[in-house]
Structure 1
Amino acid sequence: FVAAWREADKNLQRVSSGLVDPGYRFPKPTLFVNVSTLERKKIYLFNWLSAHALWISQVDLCLPSRFPSPQMWRDFLNTIDTDPLPSTQTPLRNPGFGRGTRGNYMVRNAGEYYICTGPVSLYLSIVQVKILSLSNPPLWFIWSLLWELYELNFRYELYVLDWALVPNLWTSSDEMWLTRQTLLYSIFPGESSLVMWSESLPQDSRKLGLCATDVLTALPYINKFCHLLSAWPGVPARLQYPVEMKDQDDKEVYAVFSLVCRFYVQTAFDFLGQQPSLLCMFQFI
């Protein structure tokens, strides 16, 4: 995917604006990397871990009409303690996340963003995190959090693009909606569909789906990815039928995977007008 982005035509005249919201469904991983102090990093981590389970469930249930910008995410992650909110659910006055009490939840309702008070459990996937450790988090935790954000951004961006480019496959009937949703979910390993925080972190590369280092392991996910994109406008003819690995020769598989990555990244740019969210390898320790 990274190589496909390097080779993509980034001429803004290609961009068809208005069809897809270019906002970010989740924080950019770089927001957590470019933090100046340990205390500020703790605030960022605490706010995201406090909110992400409910936010993911809201995004998965009903996509917001407008997604947050990077600055909105930065403002939310940078939130510190203020006076308690006067009620359990108070709408924000501005269009972003604004300020609220640390540890509250961020939800979306009827196109607006809200902060809700409630009990806080801090989890990354199903790994519970001690709050005190957030000021100096272990390296494995940072790697895992960033990987999860890369995955979430990619998965939901793919979902939104597919809905925008082939809306008839989502809206024609309940049966077609279920068929399309099942195909989308089959691109990723596990049983939690796009709500990946409810599963354990991967324990080996065979659990990485498209990013699996073993070609035979990645092959079914590559073919599902090609199958999904085969309905998109302008798709190369080679992506309209599955690829097979013959006699342990993986050259054709790599060629098809490279082709589908280039097509996806270029199409995503053409409708987002910015670098699309890309998958990255999980760092095992």
Structure 2
Amino acid sequence: MPYAIDRGYRFPEPALLLGPKLLERLQGYIATWLACRPLWIGRVDHDPPHNYPSPQLWRDFLSSGLTTQSQGAASKGKDSKKKGPTAAEKRKAVIRDLFGDDVLETQGDLLTNPPQHLTQRITWELFELGFHYELRDLNRYLARKYWADDLIGHKQLLHSIFPGEAGLVMWSEQFLEDNYGMWNNTLIGVLPYLEKFHELICTWDDAPPLLIVPLMPDSFTDTKCWEVMHSATAFYVQTFFCHFGRPPIVPHSIPL
């Protein structure tokens, strides 16, 4: 069976943390996400669900405060006499299937009053996580022949786009204090990561001619860097939209 792309969101859409006008709601979103974050990252990395959550399901989950106790209490109430589950109960059942009891039970220890800088860094990380794993899944679909022929080699190529030795998951390290990889402030710093990204997407169908020509250090100028980045970005965004039916999650600058 060919690898099929799931159009759901691997991680909460970062806009969820930018939208709440009430501080209490934002605190609830952040607290719930931090409680389930390690387990969910591990699951996405090693044992992805069959269907990823939609933005609405993520919103329901982050704002629910659902626990095993509250689920059990609800089943003993007046609604237990109903013939079938309500829409809210169906959503909770889906949430339970997705995140599991271990994740839901961790929500009792909630963070309150998060500082603004922490909120900014959590939002930045969600952009990074979304980009990493959406790129992985899109590439596994478009370059499935390469993955089938050389699983280890193509996985290493994917991981080489991002600094660090832990693949796509780098979140146990100290938070970065400067932009890195393809977003480095120097051409020397950008080149190795941009070349790997360039190498990865040039295996996709209809890649622009500019992305097929290897990048050479002696001709890699500011102008060349901008041209390749512009072409690669436009190609990635359009290709992603064609297969997911929505815009991709894209990286952002580190909040300093």
Stretches of 4+ aligned residues off by more than 4 angstroms: 95-99, 117-122
1:196 maps to which residue? Answer: 170
* Matched-pair contact (CA < 8 Å) for 1:25–1:156: yes
Give me the whole-angstrom Cα distance separating, in 1, the residues matched to 2:93 and 2:223: 47
* Consecutive unaligned residues in structure 2, runs of 5 or more: 73-88
1:57 maps to which residue? Answer: 42
Q: Percent identity?
A: 34
Give me the whole-angstrom Cα distance separating, in 2, the residues matched to 1:81 and 1:119: 8
Cα displacement (A) at 1:168: 1.8
Residues 61-119 of structure 1: CA deviation (Å, up to 9, x unaligned): 02222110000100000012656166xxxxxx7466657xxxxxx7x7xxx55232688
1:143 maps to which residue? Answer: 120
* Consecutive unaligned residues in structure 1, runs of 5 or more: 1-17, 87-92, 100-105, 123-129
Which of 186, 203, 207 lines up with 2:160 in the alignment? 186
- Which secondary structure does the structure 1 equivalent of 2:218 belong to? coil
Which of 231, 235, 239 lines up with 2:203 in the alignment? 231
Cα displacement (A) at 1:193: 1.2
The structure with the largest strand share of the pair is 1
Q: Structure 1-normalised TM-score?
A: 0.75
Structure 1 stretch 269-278 or stretch 234-243: which is displaced more? 234-243
Total equivalences in the alignment: 238
- Flag the 1:255–1:245 CA change in 2: closer, same or farther, 3 A: farther
Cα displacement (A) at 1:181: 0.6
Name the aligned partner's letter for residue 101 of structure 2.
I
Q: CA RMSD in A?
A: 2.8
Listed as ranges, the matches of 1:52-201 within 5 Å are: 52-80=37-65, 84=69, 94=90, 113-116=99-102, 120=106, 134-135=112-113, 137-172=114-149, 176-201=150-175
- Which secondary structure does the structure 1 equivalent of 2:171 belong to? helix
Residues 26-60 of structure 1: CA deviation (Å, up to 9, x unaligned): 00111111113222222111110010111010110
* Matched-pair contact (CA < 8 Å) for 2:25–2:63: yes
Structure 1 stretch 188-197 or stretch 236-245: which is displaced more? 236-245
1:251 maps to which residue? Answer: 223
2:18 maps to which residue? Answer: 33
Q: Answer with 1 or 2: which has the greater Rg.
A: 2
Cα displacement (A) at 1:194: 1.1
